[in-house]
Amino acid sequence: MGMVAIPVIGPTQQGEPPPVNIAGEMKNEEVLRVKLEVLRREHRDLDDAIRALEHNAAPVDQFALRRLKKQKLTLKDRIAAIEDRLTPDIIA
């Protein structure tokens, strides 16, 4: 029994949804890449929010600042985990 190629449909330009096969399912790697980009964007947004809080002339809510920094670290860990899954293992 031979392999059957499933044609890929959908736009491939940057900023557009990743390609999907005829069944409407994204490839696992594409799903991970989309999640990675979303997490990176959230990480940048948190970084901006932390910077704004720290440079605000008003007294800083230390609890809110600590919570944002913890969220940022959690995102960083999730980003690293996805990057590890996307990077092939090299056996030396």
Q: Are 21 and 27 in contact (CB under 8 A)?
A: yes
Identify whether 44 is part of a domain: yes
Identify whether 15 is part of a domain: no
**Structurally, how many domains does the chain consist of?**
1
Identify whether 22 is part of a domain: no
Identify whether 81 is part of a domain: yes
Q: What is the pLDDT of residues 47-90, one digit of tens each?
A: 999 999 888 878 888 898 999 999 999 999 999 999 999 887 77
Q: Is the pTM of this model over 0.75?
A: no
Q: What is the pLDDT of residues 2-13, one digit of tens each?
A: 444 444 444 455
Domain containing 58 equals 27-86
pLDDT at position 84 is 92
Where does the pLDDT of residue 20 fall: very low under 50, low under 70, confident under 90, or very high at 90 and above?
Answer: low
Identify whether 63 is part of a domain: yes
Identify whether 65 is part of a domain: yes
Identify whether 11 is part of a domain: no
Identify whether 33 is part of a domain: yes
